């Protein structure tokens, strides 16, 4: 019986994952699952680099602008929904493609998530209140005291991660780190990981250029329409958070653009730090022809 395979394409932002995913989809006559959590929301198009109309028509895509920013949607929800969809897709296809730069969401499908306890809503609400009143730094300091191990690893500028770790600790009395495990869930499919990489300076130039293109395409107008909802979790992301203060007259547009580019570069660096820890990834230069990468993967299938 033919083994079912999930070909997942990973790498930093702006490296060219979307185009490679479409190339694989065409080669295998199959469909694409997006694991880019920023592209789930229909109100966020330009700032999340949603595939173009032409790209979406070139291959069937799933989990692209399928939600509203007003809906709560966790990585656990994505794991459940994506695994359910994969079960259906593998009835029609031997291979399915997954593309995206949200490392935790990619891990949810390829390895599964750790089992954390339920957190009472009252604790979550209290933490949100403290975040708004005291700021993120105070919560980061608390996390360092109660869970130094996780505080040393987590992106301390990401309020969602900090709140999540503290909510687990406050509700259970146990650290977030104690619930984390390296044990992978058994999946019914084989996972093939393809990574795209670029020299740092070239990647940073691509990121800067992408931001310029987004601005010309109307990013500022998109962010302006979303300003009333700036506190929603979905909008606490690069490209939006930097322009809200400009629209509220806190600094210049030039400063907002500078911060988007800087924070995008930092995000790319964190992505690569995460992905580099995974020895199962086969890496290719972003300049490698897509046909060559597809050929190399097909040869690998034939050898296995």
175 is in an annotated binding site: no
Q: For the domain with range 121-179, which CATH number is right: 3.40.50.2300, 3.40.710.10, 1.10.3720.10, 1.10.20.140?
A: 1.10.20.140
Question: Which residue spans of the chain are classified as CATH 3.40.50.300?
Answer: 5-114+183-303
11 is in an annotated binding site: yes
230 is in an annotated binding site: no
Question: Which residue spans of the chain are classified as CATH 1.10.20.140?
Answer: 121-179
- Give first-to-last CA distance, the chain, whole Å: 14
228 is in an annotated binding site: no
pLDDT computed for residue 181 by the predictor: 67
* Residue whose entry in the numeric block shows the structure tokens 């084989």: 190
What is the side-by-side order of every strand in the sheet holding 190-197?
A: 61-62, 32-34, 95-99, 5-10, 190-197, 281-285
173 is in an annotated binding site: no
Spatial separation of the C-alpha atoms in residues 141 and 150, rounded to whole Å? 12
Query: What is the CB neighbour count within 10 angstroms for residue 20?
Result: 23
15 is in an annotated binding site: yes
Structure tokens belonging to residue 103: 């490392």
60 is in an annotated binding site: no
Query: What is the CB neighbour count within 10 angstroms for residue 196?
Result: 22
100 is in an annotated binding site: no
Homologous superfamily (CATH) of 5-114+183-303 is P-loop containing nucleotide triphosphate hydrolases (3.40.50.300)
Query: Over its length of 304 residues, how does the chain's per-residue pLDDT go in tens digits?
Result: 578 999 999 999 999 999 999 999 999 999 999 999 999 999 999 999 999 999 999 999 999 999 999 998 888 899 999 999 999 999 999 999 999 988 889 999 999 887 787 888 889 889 999 998 998 999 999 999 999 988 988 888 888 889 999 999 998 888 988 887 666 788 999 999 999 999 999 999 999 999 999 999 999 999 999 999 998 888 989 999 999 999 999 999 999 999 999 999 999 998 998 899 899 999 999 999 999 999 999 998 887 7
Spatial separation of the C-alpha atoms in residues 223 and 43, rounded to whole Å? 10
Max Cα–Cα distance, the chain, nearest Å = 62
Sign of the CA dihedral with 274 first, then 279, 284, and 290 last: negative
Structure tokens belonging to residue 17: 């994952």
């Amino acid at each position: 019986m033919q083994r079912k395979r999930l070909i997942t394409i990973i790498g930093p932002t702006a490296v060219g994952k979307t185009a490679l995913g479409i190339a694989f989809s065409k080669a295998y006559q199959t469909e694409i699952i997006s694991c880019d959590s920023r592209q789930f929301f229909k109100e966020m198009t330009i700032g999340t680099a949603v595939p173009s109309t032409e790209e979406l028509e070139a291959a069937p895509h799933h989990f692209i602008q399928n939600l509203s920013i007003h809906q709560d949607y966790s990585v656990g929800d994505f794991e459940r929904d994506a695994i359910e969809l994969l079960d259906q897709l593998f009835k029609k296809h031997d291979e399915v493609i997954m593309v995206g730069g949200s490392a935790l969401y990619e891990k949810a499908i390829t390895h599964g998530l750790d089992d954390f306890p339920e957190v009472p809503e009252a604790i979550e609400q209290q933490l949100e209140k403290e975040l708004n009143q005291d700021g993120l730094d105070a919560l980061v300091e608390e996390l360092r005291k109660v869970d130094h191990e996780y505080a040393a690893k987590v992106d301390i500028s990401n309020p969602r991660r900090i709140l999540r770790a503290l909510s687990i600790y406050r509700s259970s009395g146990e650290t977030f780190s104690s619930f984390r495990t390296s044990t992978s869930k058994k999946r019914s499919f084989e996972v093939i990981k393809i990574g795209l990489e670029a020299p740092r300076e070239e990647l940073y130039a691509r990121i800067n250029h992408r931001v310029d293109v987004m601005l010309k395409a109307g990013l500022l107008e998109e962010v302006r329409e979303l300003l009333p909802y700036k506190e929603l979790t979905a909008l606490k992301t690069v490209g939006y958070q930097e322009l809200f203060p400009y629209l509220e007259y806190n600094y210049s547009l030039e400063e907002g653009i500078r911060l988007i580019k800087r924070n995008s570069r930092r995000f790319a660096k964190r992505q690569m730090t995460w992905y580099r820890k995974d020895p199962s990834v086969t890496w290719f230069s972003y300049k490698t022809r897509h046909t060559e990468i597809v050929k190399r993967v097909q040869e690998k299938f034939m050898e296995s």
